[in-house]
Amino acid sequence: MPSTREIRRRIVSVKKTAQITSAMEKVAQAKMARAQQAALAGRPYAELMNRVLGEVVSHAGDFDHPFMKARSGENRALILVTTDKGMCGSINSNLLRKVTDEFVTDHTRMIAAGRKGAQHASRVGWDLAAEFPYSDTPVFSEARAIARMAVELFENAEVDHVDIAFTNFVNTITQKPEVQTLLPITEIKGVQAGVEGEEMATELLGGTAEFLFEPSAGGVLGALLPHYINFQVHQILLEAKASEFSSKMVAMKNATDNANDLIKDLTLEFNKMRQAAITNELLEITTAQMALGN
């Protein structure tokens, strides 16, 4: 049976834990909002890119670009977007499980974005080609570095297929692990900006005005495709960050609730014990008095 002092000490320590987790919850909430905002800030860019792509695609005719050629080889690269830190619920393990079950073969090279993915890769012996850091509010140059690496592998024919695995932000409570194909580009779709399901028009616009192209429609498209990939990676990083922080928010909220429950239980026990001690003491006094009175 622990003494009252021990229980009091535990209450103090659990209170401190609750304070920390609730602070972390608020930080995660703020960071999630920031990631969402950053994703929305890319919307004008996405709209313009869709317009340019639309014009170019409708004018380029039979266009052939190395990025668009499907190859039959089985060497693949997988960009694994995970978090750097833990304490964010199960999103990393969910993603890694999905990837392990469905995608990893002996011919898969890993490009890790985020430390957790890299750690897992080296633990289970995956072929880790590179590891990239990305910050809490991902900037475009970080996405560009990752995309460059993937494109280089593809261009040098070291891999024939590039996928990207990340946690899709469905809403604050739900995040879903997902894998998308980055290369080859089988179909040029409109890009999308913003993390949540609120749809923006993603169809390619175009064919309205007769544009001149400098140097040529094909040339512009060829130069545009790398930017198209960069932007996709950038949006995916933002999405992954929003997922990370919303998952962290929920995990920290649960931790805070648990700590508060624990404090309630401990306080109850503490009071019971204190009461028992007082009763005991009273008993002793009365017995002593009765003994004296006799």
Partner 1 sequence: MADTLKLEIVTPESKIYSEDVEMVTLPGSEGEAGIYPNHVPLMTQVQAGEIVVNRGGTEEVVAIGEGFAEITGEHVAILTDNAANSADIDEAAAEEAKAKAEQRLEEGGDVSEEDAKALTQAILYSQAQIKAKRRKRG
Q: Which active-site residues does the annotation give? A: 88
DSSP 274: H
Q: Does 63 bind partner 1 (CB under 8 A)?
A: no
d(CA 108, CA 230): 21
Q: Which residue stretch of 17-25, 86-94, 223-231, 279-287 sits at the interface with partner 1 (rule: CB under 8 A)?
A: 223-231
Smallest separation, CB 141 to partner 1 (Å): 8
Three-state SS for 42? coil
Interface map 147-166 toward partner 1 (x if CB under 8 A): -----x--------------
Per CB under 8 A, 103 contacts partner 1: no
**Does 215 participate in binding partner 1 (rule CB under 8 A)?**
yes
Q: Which H helix or E strand runs over 229?
A: helix 217-293
Q: How many residues bind partner 1 (CB under 8 A)?
A: 32
Ranges assigned E (strand) in 39-195:
76-81, 108-113, 127-132, 161-169, 175-183
- CA-closest candidate to residue 189, choices 169, 203, 206, 207: 203
CB 100 within 8 A of CB 126: no
Q: How far is CA 35 from CA 92, 113, 201, 246, in A?
A: 18, 16, 21, 10
Is 108 or 192 the residue whose CB approaches partner 1 more closely? 192
For position 23 contacting partner 1 by CB under 8 A, the verdict is no
SS3 assignment, position 99: helix
Binding segment toward partner 1, per CB under 8 A, in 22-30, 124-132, 137-145, 175-183: 137-145
Restricting to residues 29-48, which ones interact with partner 1 according to CB under 8 A? 38, 41-42, 44-45, 48
Out of 8, 10, 15, 51, name the contact with partner 1 by CB under 8 A. Answer: 51
Nearer to partner 1, 36 or 92 (CB): 36
Is 81 among the residues that bind partner 1 (CB under 8 A)?
no
Three-state secondary structure call for residue 161: strand
d(CA 234, CA 81): 11
Please, which residue, 197 or 215, has the CB nearer to partner 1?
215
Q: How far is the CB of 83 from partner 1 (least distance, A)?
A: 21
CA 282 – CA 276 distance, rounded (Å): 10
Q: Which residues bind partner 1 (CB under 8 A)?
A: 38, 41-42, 44-45, 48-49, 51-52, 55-56, 139-140, 143-144, 152, 209-215, 217, 219-220, 223-224, 227, 230-231, 234
